Structure 1
Amino acid sequence: MSTHPPDSTERSRTFGPSALLTPANVITVVRLLLAPVAFVLIYEQQSGWLLFGLWIAITASDSLDGYLARRQGTTRSGAFLDPLADKVLALGGLWAMVLAGRFWWLPVVLITVREALISAFRSYWGRKGLAVPASNVAKFKTFLQFSSVSLVVWPWTTGYTWMADTVLWLAVAVAWISAAQYIQAGSRSTTTMDPG
């Protein structure tokens, strides 16, 4: 009979898949609660150190809740809340910039359509029991979206509109590249599951 003690990774996983009140989930919920505050500040102020600090905190903390989830155990609630928080922050921040007159509406519409399309595919494949994980390209897409807003709210770069616009259009390109990759990966997996 084996008496080997669990390794450090197993010991550190303190939460099961059904857990709700985990440190990672708390951080994600706080990000969601602070999101409307950031959107209002973006619309009213567009730039400022308080806004910049808040925006960096609620976007960069995505890495912290991801680390905690991997360290303490991933949960089904976290798998739903974390990408939701990213989408709310990214799209909300971009549309707040449009309403404030800092971003052109076209690239933001293209990003929004992409997110709606992939959400529809994700829902469709989810009903088939298929989960397609986010690629590194998709994660880079989210980083670019956050960065485009950061370049406007940061007082040192707010006057250089070409910088934010360039990053925003780059985010559009990467968003649709990742969408094509996602659809291709999901279609291949669906074909493997149901060749007929």
Structure 2
Amino acid sequence: MATTEATQSQGLSIASWANAITTARLLLSPVMFWVIPNHQRGAWIACLLWFVLCFSDFIDGYVARRRGPTAAGAFLDPLADKVLILGAMFTLVSTDVFWVVPVVIIAARELIISVYRVLVSGKGISVPASKIAKYKTFAQQLAVGFALLPWTALDATWLWKGLLWTAVVLALISGAQYLSHARNPQ
């Protein structure tokens, strides 16, 4: 009985190492958005900060799986991902690195799926990230990372542009999967 209560208490708790890492990632995101346009295209500091913030996403997921996820973490982690990735992408749009069209497609998908998740969560339904959505996030992280990496920012634009469009395709596929599942839950 005590184990069940402790597990339930941990599931509702906001104070956890994973949530602390996620919160730090969320709070450091504006620094990332400031660093990108304030350094020349392909800057090591921007690339290094991006790597640290993206790697922290892996770390908080690992910690959450080892210590048990929390309801707060289930909300905070995707929020931090969206703020960080979309913020970096729109910052790259504002500096004429990324084209606005793929970024708007990705942002629209994120908005639609986020609204869907909020609506179904009111009915007690949880919508975990699909494998394709996880690949989409990774493709987005790589696209931004390679757009910031000095070795590829100017000399291998095909690499990060290809990753950006790969992220668009994965965003559309995963979004369609979520919405299809919403129509035909099984």
Give 1:119-134 correspondences, 5 Å limit. 119-134=114-129
Partner residue, 2:134: 139
Preserved contact between residue 42 and residue 152 of structure 2 (Cα < 8 Å): no
| 1:63-115 per-position Cα deviation (integer Å, ceiling 9, x unaligned) | 11011111111111111100101111110010010001101111111111111
TM-superposed deviation, 1:41: 1.0
User: Structure 1 or 2: larger helix share?
Assistant: 2
**C-alpha distance in 2, partners of 1:62/1:83?**
10
What percentage of residue pairs aligned between the two structures are identical? Answer: 44
Structure with max Cα Rg: 1
Q: Check conservation: 2:42, 2:151, Cα contact below 8 A.
A: no
**Cα separation, 2, equivalents of 1:48 and 1:75:** 36
Deviations 1:148-193 (A, max 9, x none): 110111111111222111111111011000001111122222xx6x
The SS at the match of 2:51 is: helix
Deviation at 1:128, TM superposition (A): 2.0
User: Structure 1: which 5+ runs fail to align?
Assistant: 1-5
1:188 aligns with 2:149: no
Kept in 2, the 8 Å contact 1:151–1:158? The answer is yes
Aligned twin of 1:47: 42
- Unaligned 5+ residue runs, structure 2? none
- The RMSD of aligned alpha carbons is 1.8
Residue aligned with 1:156, SS: helix
TM-score normalized by the length of structure 2: 0.91
**How much has 1:123 moved relative to structure 2?**
1.7
Measured against aligned partners, the alpha-carbon deviations of 1:129-166 in whole angstroms (never above 9, x if no partner) come to: 22221101000001111111101111111112221111
Other-structure match for 1:3: none
Q: How many pairs does the alignment contain?
A: 180
- Equivalents in 1 of 2:162, 2:54: separation in Å? 20
The correspondence for 2:112, drawn from 96, 114, 117, is 117
Q: Does 1:67 align with 2:88?
A: no
Contact 1:132 1:185 in 2 (8 A): no
Matched residue type, 1:102: V
Q: Name the counterpart of 2:18.
A: 24
- Aligned partners of 2:11 and 2:125: how far apart in 1? 18
Partner of residue 93 from structure 2, selected from 89, 98, 115: 98
- Normalising to structure 1: TM-score of the pair? 0.86
